[in-house]
Amino acid sequence: MTSALWIGTRKGAFTLRPDARGRGWKLSGPQFLGHIIHHVVQDPREPRVLLLAAKTGHLGPTVYRSSDRGRTWKEAAQPPAFRKAADGEEARAVERVFWLTPGHACERGTWYAGTSPAGLFRSEDGGGRWQPVAGFNDHAMRPKWVPFGTPDGQLLHSISVDPRDPQHLYIAISIGGVFESTDGGADWAPLNEGCAADFMPDPNVPYGHDPHCVALHPGAPDRLYQQNHCGIYRLDRPERCWVRIGRAMPKKVGDIGFPIVVHPSDPQTAWVLPMDGQTVWPRTSIAGKPAVYRTSDGGKSWRRLDRGLPQSQAWLTVLRQAMCTDGRAPRVGVYFGTTGGEVWAGAGGGESWRCIARHLPEIYSVTHAV
């Protein structure tokens, strides 16, 4: 099976593919040199199709579509954009397309996009024309749900579609929280009970949380994992209260980070990459010793995986879209990219690591394509 890692960076998109002998990786690109690439995502319904979210420092945001596995690209005829504001309304403009998610398997051509400022958009023609999801973007509660943004702005991310029901959607917003829709996006409700919001005057608020990444298990879609600004959580629906499984992490490591990825078939297994969330939030590997942690029991315990990773003075930062698996059970490959431009591959579920690319621009996303 052909396999590729798509690397979205601050200066373009790159691909890594296994070399002919299958022992190393061959880097190709850049494509879109100079563009800020937040996400590159393959369509599992049509594997030849990829969508790519791009902008530059000065030009407006857009989406490109490839129908030949990334060899050529065509720009969306109508990129995600908020509706024209009425007099007296807040006039929102998409600053960047931050996240892309393919729609349900039965809705061929449907895609969702999350933006900054926090907006949800839907395309029904494979990413060519995008429409605002008014049920969220114009929800009466939205100004309260999304009170303010991160230094990088409000970010709508982690869009998940229940594989059993195309009407059942989850989104996450930094800062705002996790929200759920059971009617295809027409209405939404917060889903943050149990999650800490230590930075808020009342830490038990129903919304206003900072989920960094939420992953729904594709084979057990009642199970969600969340890496939050305030810990690692698990939720088993129909429960509504997240359980802080990060409490089982070593105290000196803590449970702060950005990405969380799930095993392709085992809902008990997930990986995180802890970052330093103390004092002013350095957001680097703890004590300069990077490590991935894996749970194989739904978060009751965690195992440190650092064989092959630098053992000291390595101050890596890994962003929320920059970690993935190759989806190949049982010996799952795990990959992450750093803001310092390195890509690391963890064989055997992260048992041993090696650097497979370096000297790339700041990495924003690492995704796998077949």
Partner 1 sequence: MSCTVRIPSPLRSYTAGASMVAAEGGSVAQVLASLERRFAGIRFRMIDEQSRIRPHIRLYVNTTEVTALSQAVATGDIVHVICALSGG
Binding of residue 36 to partner 1 (CB under 8 A)? no
Question: Closest separation between CB of residue 368 and partner 1, Å?
Answer: 28
DSSP state at residue 82: P
Pairwise CA distance, residues 200 & 177, whole Å: 12
Q: Are 89 and 27 in contact (CB under 8 A)?
A: no
Which one of the spans 75-83, 110-118, 141-149, 222-230 is the region binding partner 1 (CB under 8 A)? Answer: 75-83
The one among 26, 46, 47, 56 contacting partner 1 by CB under 8 A: 56
Pairwise CA distance, residues 344 & 326, whole Å: 13
Question: Closest separation between CB of residue 75 and partner 1, Å?
Answer: 5
Which one of the spans 90-98, 161-169, 226-234, 314-322 is the region binding partner 1 (CB under 8 A)? Answer: 90-98
Binding of residue 85 to partner 1 (CB under 8 A)? yes
The one among 58, 164, 251, 359 contacting partner 1 by CB under 8 A: 58
Q: Burial level of 237, CB count in 10 A (0-12/13-18/19+)? A: middle
Listed in sequence order, the DSSP H helices in the chain are: 134-137, 142-145
User: 246: helix, coil or strand?
Assistant: helix
Binding of residue 60 to partner 1 (CB under 8 A)? yes
Which one of the spans 59-67, 168-176, 220-228, 286-294 is the region binding partner 1 (CB under 8 A)? Answer: 59-67
Residue 204 contacts by C-beta under 8 Å, 6 or more apart in sequence? 197
Binding of residue 81 to partner 1 (CB under 8 A)? yes
Binding of residue 94 to partner 1 (CB under 8 A)? yes
The DSSP string of 14-67 is: EEEEE-TTSSSEEEEEEESTT-EEEEEEE-TTSTT-EEEEEE-SSSPPEEEEES
Task: For residue 96, give the nearest of 73, 123, 82, 117 by alpha carbon.
Answer: 117
Binding of residue 105 to partner 1 (CB under 8 A)? no
Binding of residue 84 to partner 1 (CB under 8 A)? yes
Question: Closest separation between CB of residue 356 and partner 1, Å?
Answer: 24
Question: Closest separation between CB of residue 191 and partner 1, Å?
Answer: 29
The one among 62, 66, 110, 115 contacting partner 1 by CB under 8 A: 62
Binding of residue 129 to partner 1 (CB under 8 A)? no
- Which stretches of the chain bind partner 1, using CB under 8 A? 34, 56-60, 62, 75-77, 79, 81-85, 91-94
